[in-house]
Amino acid sequence: MIVGHFLKWLDTARVSERAAAASALARAYVQKELPFEDRCAAEAALTFLLDDPSAKVRQAMAEALSMSRHAPFQVVSVLAGDQPEVAASVIARSPLLTDADLIDHVASGSGATQSLIASRPIVSMAVSAAIAEVGEAEACLALLCNDGAEIAMLSFRRMAERHGDVAVVREALIADTRLPSDCRHMLLVKVGEALKRSPLVVALMGEARAERVLRDACVRASLTLIETTPSQEHAALIEHLRLRGDLTSGFLIRAIAHGKVDFFGAAMVALTDQGEARVRALLASGRDVALAALFRSAGLAAATHGVILVALKVWREVADGKRIAGAQEVSWLMLQRLGDTQAERDLASLLKAIHVDALRDNARRHALSIAASTDLRAA
């Protein structure tokens, strides 16, 4: 009877009064303060209020029902599809919305709606995948900033592919420790491409030099990336590089000159029909003839075989504790191995560049070490 009077009263009540009454009725319903019959009548009244012409009334009801598991599902479902200011609290908080409901709202909703879903306290892998696949950049950023979101490796890749050009999304992706190594490389390349297109960079360097400098920077950054990439992710990174056309002989020579033997071995596995155990055994103790056969099956030019063998022998001695060496010494020894054919002269240019980079890196570290020791003495 009370609810009946309430429904009649709605015809003459002001918007503010209806909003307050709708909120009170919704709170009473979810707190289970009503007898069974009144509760059924209250549910009918709440359903009736979904047709109220004022968004303020529906918004008040949505806020009261948004966090309860005892709210009437049909009411919550309709409110979730209402205009944004009404739906926001339900979309962001309601425990009654299933993954399927949330995925539907991701697919059909605005960027603001997608961001609300991405910011929910718990976001399942399936919902994260939907946001990564169709969500706007702001929603993907909200997802990456949400510690309660479970994100699959494939979803990281989709966000990197779709929004890696957006600086804030790119930064959030790089800062996430879960990001796969091939995605990190993809973002490094996107940074290089963004810099290459920068009018300031082109004006300072010229287009051709800017492209060359940034390409070399991307290669060096890729080598640094290998250092922080777990060995179990090498295969994914190698496949990414191969598909991009970046897994070149030059890149592999750089890798072996810098002592990335495990990565080099994973590349040999990917480029040949040899098993991982077989390749690992060859790199650790294989004879030159067997190694040369491995390099040929990987598509490496004959001119590169000798310098790679030189590097492998040095790194074996380092691993056995018989020698101390770094990229500077190894690249120099690789240079000494070269003859005077055209192919070897081209290879010499690459090795000289690697050697000069190693010299500069060592000198820079030495200078920083001197400066740090001077600061300590002064303190």
Is 71:28 a contact under the CB 8 Å cutoff? no
Q: Which residues pair with 149 in a beta bridge?
A: 123
The residue assigned the tokens 């072996």 is: 256
Q: 375: pLDDT confidence band, cut at 50, 70 and 90?
A: low
Q: How far apart are CA 59 and CA 54, in angstroms?
A: 9
Residue type, 310: V
Helix (H), strand (E) at residue 283: helix 276-285
Q: How far apart are CA 253 and CA 267, in angstroms?
A: 12
Tens-digit pLDDT profile for residues 51-98: 888 999 999 999 999 999 989 999 999 999 899 899 999 999 999 999
Residue type, 112: A
**pLDDT of amino acid 210:** 65
**3-state SS assignment for residue 376:** helix
Mean pLDDT of 163-167: 89
Tens-digit pLDDT profile for residues 321-340: 999 999 999 999 999 998 77
Contact partners, residue 20, CB within 8 Å, separation at least 6: 60
Strand ranges in 39-169 using DSSP code E only, listed in sequence order:
none
Confidence check: pLDDT of 1 > 70: no
**3-state SS assignment for residue 322:** coil
The model scores a pTM over 0.95? no
Q: Kindly report the average pLDDT of the chain as a whole number.
A: 87
Q: Which residues pair with 123 in a beta bridge?
A: 149
Cα 10 vs. chain centroid, distance in angstroms? 52
Contact partners, residue 282, CB within 8 Å, separation at least 6: 274, 290, 291, 294
Q: How far apart are CA 80 and CA 101, in angstroms?
A: 9
Tens-digit pLDDT profile for residues 118-139: 999 999 999 999 999 999 999 9
Closest CA to 319 of 280, 350, 291, 364: 280
State both tokens at 217: 């920077």
Tens-digit pLDDT profile for residues 185-234: 888 877 777 776 677 766 767 777 766 766 777 777 777 788 878 888 88
**pLDDT of amino acid 241:** 84
Q: 151: pLDDT confidence band, cut at 50, 70 and 90?
A: very high
**pLDDT of amino acid 95:** 94
**pLDDT of amino acid 258:** 92
Confidence check: pLDDT of 357 > 80: yes
Q: Which percentage of the chain shows pLDDT scores above 90?
A: 49
Contact partners, residue 280, CB within 8 Å, separation at least 6: 265
**pLDDT of amino acid 36:** 79
Q: 242: pLDDT confidence band, cut at 50, 70 and 90?
A: confident
Q: 28: pLDDT confidence band, cut at 50, 70 and 90?
A: confident
Q: 153: pLDDT confidence band, cut at 50, 70 and 90?
A: confident
Tens-digit pLDDT profile for residues 291-315: 999 999 999 999 999 999 999 999 9
Q: 24: pLDDT confidence band, cut at 50, 70 and 90?
A: confident
Q: 25: pLDDT confidence band, cut at 50, 70 and 90?
A: confident
Of residues 199 and 155, more confidently modeled: 155
Tens-digit pLDDT profile for residues 258-285: 999 999 999 999 999 889 999 999 999 9
**3-state SS assignment for residue 110:** coil
